[in-house]
Structure 1
Amino acid sequence: MTLLRETDSPERRVEKLSRISDVLIDRIDRLEEMRGSAWSMFQAAVALEQEVEARTRELERVLADLSERNRELAVARAAAEEANRSKTRFLRAASHDLLQPLSAARLFLTALSDTDLDPFQQELTGRLAGAFESVEELMHAVLDISRLDSQRIEFHRKPVYLGDLFRRLAIEYAPMAEVKGLALTFVPTSAVVDSDPVFLRRIAQNLVSNAIKYTESGRVLVRIRRQGDQVWLEIHDTGIGIPPADRSRIFDEFQRVGREGVAPGMGLGLSIVRRACAKLGHPITVDSEQGRGTVFRVGLPIVAPDEDGLIRIVDKTPAALRGRVALVVENDPNMRRAYELILSDQLGMVPRLAGGTAEALATMGEEPPM
């Protein structure tokens, strides 16, 4: 520290005082700078706190709005699900009511076609049967789509013997292929898979039917190819093929490929196939070359044999029906009469008819429950 002494000359004392003054001024300047910096920091902290409070209020408003939107979406979703369930119930009821007279008409036509008819009458009955079959097919397709879209649909999975399925399909579609001059081949198989037999048959029916419809010449081949722990149901055809741009939309409703009028149908078959495969967990693929044919493949899990190395499937088909008594409970009189004709004339059975539960129990000699 610089000290003033009595012995210092005036010049020396002025010099020392000047240095002391400079040091003091420098300290004062630094103190002023520190005070200004602290004040700036304080002001910045206050501004930041205000900004945080504003952003917090804004975030709270956004969260409240989002919560309200979520509640609205939940209500809308519940309403949509209820509307879908109502649609399914309506379609089931409407399909049943519409299919009853159609089924009765087809049964009457079947009985009529077994009588002696002249060629003109045979043509009329054939055309009527075809028209009724088309309407009934459309109603069944709409009903199938409605069921598959329902969240409450129940599948009854069990071992399905594909050899038996192939034999049924061969009998069912041989006339359709024969009319078009196509070779329809089902390669024999002993594979047993895990699926719902009703919906698996529906899948196969739609794929085989489509293959025949869109094939003008050549053949349709149905076979099984094993790969790992699953098999692939393959349907090959030599038809018109599917352009690459159309391969995604063919599974949509009312979508058809090819020239107009090439094949009859409503364009619902592949939509049913896609929905059923998705619900059952069966992967489906399609390969096609335009003008040379198409291959549809459906992956099916193989059923493992039991300890004896066997897969047991119970066949509930009766060996003979002739002479057996059949109880028909049907509230529609036309349907009752149609069933009576088919059961008695074509199957040789003895039909017992009832219009309701009480009448059926009385026919069986039992008292209705109280």
Structure 2
Amino acid sequence: MKADQIRALIAQSPASLTGNAVGFGVMVGVFFPLAHPLVLGGWVAAVMLLWLLRLGHWWRYRQRELAGTLDDATLLGWVRSYVVLVLLQGAQWGAAVWLFWNLGTPYHRLALILVAYAYTLGAVQLLVTQGKVFNAFISLILVPTIARIVTDRSEPFHWQLAVVLGVIFVATLVIGRTHRSALAQAISLKARTDQLAAQLRVEKAAADEARRAAEAASRAKTQFFAAASHDLRQPLHAMGLFAEALRQRIRDPEVASLVNSINESVDALEGLFGELLDITRIDSGGVDVNPHPVRMKEVFTRLRLHFEPLAFEKGLALSFHGDQRVAQTDPLLLERILRNLVSNAIRYTEDGGVLVSCRQRGERLLVQVWDSGIGVSEAALPRIFEEFYQVHTSRPLEAHHRKGLGLGLAIVKRLADLLQAPLTVRSRVDRGTVFSLELPVGIEQRRVERDLTRSKAALGLTLNGRRMVVVEDEAAVREGLVVLLQAWGAQVDAFETVEAVQAWAAQPGTPQPDLLIVDYRLPAGTTGLEALAVLRARWPRAQLPAIVVTGSSLGGHEDESATHDFHLLIKPVLPNKLRAMIAFKLGMR
């Protein structure tokens, strides 16, 4: 017998003793008026002595168990004494049948049989795990009972009663065996379940460790791409500026063509960095979705501020309709989706324009980006949202059409899936394309609006006579920007820190600049926004236009651009894009 089985068996002693005490009380109550005092007294004394011995046996066991002095070898001795006491109790109930059988009426004998059989049924629950002990216990009770019925010739049908009780005896043995088998299977299943649970815990711990390692690797990958993107954008940005400055000083067409190729390569690398970083963050689960009511006017305003200079540079009309609608969605993810779609629309459209619209369709909003560009063939439409897939058309493409890895629309599709917003596309070659995004309708919240739109005046094509302030801590970028702006005819005051800007602005007679170009991240934890605040405080009535340039593509500057009234450019900035933005900003004043 295993140690845990012994402990479980002895632990049932209080329940067994309670049952014996109840049966003892019943027997004394029924046969006290009928039995001879010496016979009843002797039986009662034997029962009490045995009951106290079992109680003392359990109490000593319990004390040693609590003290932790019972090992497996000692338990075998305890179970032997326990079995002896249990069998003696079974024998005392069998003896009671012989002692009290002829007393009273047939109902007294029936009570005697019921009490005896009640103990056999109790043994099914308490002793069934120990087959031999169980069989011996019920035999010590029922065999004497059956024998006493057989020998009682005072009542008719005693043989029939003995046979019935014998059948009950056999049935009890079968019940005990069946119960023991079922219990053994249950114990086996429990052991197997415990084993599987332990194995599952081990596997889960290993899976959790692997998941944590994968998450750490994913975070490290994202951080690597972010750091690499920021660090590599700086020299690329400087390279583009120097290349454009070189192009301004040469007259050889072949060299100018090489410079243009350098600028196109820089622009392509910029797109690759942004796409790789975005797809990495989405795949690693680093993009959270926080839906709330979003006024489309605010989203459209930021898109207009960002893309109007690019559309103007290509001679395209950029229009927005339906800005009075309110969507229930994440504004940052929605804007990233629309930025990708509008950027593609402008890139692949040479004539006409781009329209961003929002219309209500029942309980949904239909946000669409239309263009009159080169379009996509019907065969290519099913694949345009796949990673690294780029559409091939029958007509030759311009150089700027072939930039990128083909990740832009894959990012759009994954962001739309995160928003649970169905995304569809329709297109006709040489006629244009429309992307449609379905969003739930939001409940409009009253708030004070700031009109961020500006009226567009005539744009100048030269920077002659214009004064620019440049704040940039990277020496190569600062020098390249100064050289390029001077090549375009501008007068430039360049600074490295906010403190240098403060000192320059505090000088009497400092000329008022026409445009501020500042880097977002400056030394000593300062930002370009502090430089903007210093310069605008020096000329509070001038409403100085500003461009903020940053090497980080992680986002989060859109709200700041609206609050502090600046346009944002991501490094590396192609000189043509920079010049278009400068012309746009100066033309607004």
TM-score, length-scaled by structure 1: 0.69
Match of 2:436 among 289, 294, 297: 297
**What is the match of residue 172 of structure 1?**
310
Match of 1:126 among 260, 277, 280: 260
2: distance between equivalents of 1:114 and 1:210? 29
**What is the match of residue 239 of structure 1?**
375
2: distance between equivalents of 1:152 and 1:82? 12
Paired letter, 1:226:
R
**What is the match of residue 98 of structure 1?**
232
Indicate the structure (1 or 2) with the bigger Cα radius of gyration. Answer: 2
- In structure 2, the CA distance between the partners of 1:352 and 1:257, relative to structure 1 (3 Å rule), is closer
Alignment of 1:329 with 2:472, yes or no, is: yes
- In structure 2, the CA distance between the partners of 1:303 and 1:110, relative to structure 1 (3 Å rule), is farther
**What is the match of residue 495 of structure 2?**
353
Residues 352 and 363, structure 1, Cα contact 8 Å, conserved in 2? no
- In structure 2, the CA distance between the partners of 1:53 and 1:161, relative to structure 1 (3 Å rule), is closer
* Cα deviation digits, residues 51-78 of structure 1 (max 9, x gap): 1111111111111122222222222222
- In structure 2, the CA distance between the partners of 1:347 and 1:169, relative to structure 1 (3 Å rule), is farther
* Cα deviation digits, residues 87-144 of structure 1 (max 9, x gap): 1221111112221121111112222333452332332222222122112221222233
Residues 147 and 153, structure 1, Cα contact 8 Å, conserved in 2? yes
Match of 1:48 among 182, 186, 191: 182
Match of 1:266 among 389, 405, 416: 405
Residues 299 and 335, structure 2, Cα contact 8 Å, conserved in 1? no
Paired letter, 2:495:
L
Match of 2:170 among 29, 32, 36: 36
Match of 1:191 among 299, 315, 323: 323
Q: Which secondary structure state, in structure 1, belongs to the residue aligned with residue 387 of structure 2? A: coil
Alignment of 1:341 with 2:483, yes or no, is: yes
Q: Which has the higher helix share?
A: 2
2: distance between equivalents of 1:112 and 1:37? 107
1: distance between equivalents of 2:443 and 2:483? 41
Alignment of 1:224 with 2:224, yes or no, is: no
2: distance between equivalents of 1:299 and 1:347? 48
TM-score, length-scaled by structure 2: 0.46
Query: How many equivalent residue pairs?
Result: 333
**What is the match of residue 18 of structure 1?**
none
**What is the match of residue 4 of structure 1?**
none
* Cα deviation digits, residues 286-323 of structure 1 (max 9, x gap): 1437868653123566784747xx63245799x99976
- In structure 2, the CA distance between the partners of 1:120 and 1:311, relative to structure 1 (3 Å rule), is same
Paired letter, 1:77:
R
2: distance between equivalents of 1:218 and 1:364? 45
Q: Which runs of 5+ in 1 are unaligned?
A: 1-21, 179-183
- In structure 2, the CA distance between the partners of 1:223 and 1:315, relative to structure 1 (3 Å rule), is closer
* Cα deviation digits, residues 240-296 of structure 1 (max 9, x gap): 34559x64x6434213355699762311101222344456x4724114378686531
Alignment of 1:283 with 2:449, yes or no, is: no
Residue identity over aligned pairs, in percent, reads: 27
- In structure 2, the CA distance between the partners of 1:161 and 1:68, relative to structure 1 (3 Å rule), is closer
Residues 241 and 288, structure 1, Cα contact 8 Å, conserved in 2? no
CA shift for structure 1 position 347: 8.1
2: distance between equivalents of 1:155 and 1:107? 37
- In structure 2, the CA distance between the partners of 1:290 and 1:120, relative to structure 1 (3 Å rule), is closer
Alignment of 1:73 with 2:215, yes or no, is: no
2: distance between equivalents of 1:293 and 1:28? 101
1: distance between equivalents of 2:366 and 2:304? 15
Residues 111 and 341, structure 1, Cα contact 8 Å, conserved in 2? yes
Structure 1 residues 308-323: aligned runs within 5 Å:
311-314=449-452
CA shift for structure 1 position 41: 0.9
CA shift for structure 1 position 200: 5.4
2: distance between equivalents of 1:105 and 1:303? 48
1: distance between equivalents of 2:486 and 2:454? 22
Alignment of 1:60 with 2:194, yes or no, is: yes
2: distance between equivalents of 1:197 and 1:304? 14
RMSD value, Cα: 4.7
**What is the match of residue 108 of structure 1?**
242
Q: Which secondary structure state, in structure 2, belongs to the residue aligned with residue 160 of structure 1? A: helix
Report the more deviating stretch, 106-115 or 289-298.
289-298
- In structure 2, the CA distance between the partners of 1:68 and 1:190, relative to structure 1 (3 Å rule), is same
Paired letter, 1:328:
V
Report the more deviating stretch, 112-121 or 90-99.
112-121
Residues 371 and 434, structure 2, Cα contact 8 Å, conserved in 1? yes
Residues 242 and 290, structure 1, Cα contact 8 Å, conserved in 2? yes
Q: Which secondary structure state, in structure 2, belongs to the residue aligned with residue 296 of structure 1? A: strand
- In structure 2, the CA distance between the partners of 1:236 and 1:82, relative to structure 1 (3 Å rule), is same
CA shift for structure 1 position 232: 1.3
CA shift for structure 1 position 224: 0.8
* Cα deviation digits, residues 198-251 of structure 1 (max 9, x gap): 765653343245457778x9977523132157451333567234559x64x643
Q: Which runs of 5+ in 2 are unaligned?
A: 1-155, 507-522, 525-589
**What is the match of residue 36 of structure 2?**
none
Residues 345 and 354, structure 2, Cα contact 8 Å, conserved in 1? no
Residues 207 and 235, structure 1, Cα contact 8 Å, conserved in 2? no
Q: Which secondary structure state, in structure 1, belongs to the residue aligned with residue 321 of structure 2? A: coil
1: distance between equivalents of 2:289 and 2:477? 28
Paired letter, 1:338:
G
Residues 215 and 284, structure 2, Cα contact 8 Å, conserved in 1? no
* Cα deviation digits, residues 15-73 of structure 1 (max 9, x gap): xxxxxxx9676555544433322211111011111111111111111111222222222
- In structure 2, the CA distance between the partners of 1:364 and 1:350, relative to structure 1 (3 Å rule), is same
Residues 250 and 256, structure 2, Cα contact 8 Å, conserved in 1? no
Structure 1 residues 7-46: aligned runs within 5 Å:
29-46=163-180
Paired letter, 2:409:
L
- In structure 2, the CA distance between the partners of 1:222 and 1:97, relative to structure 1 (3 Å rule), is same
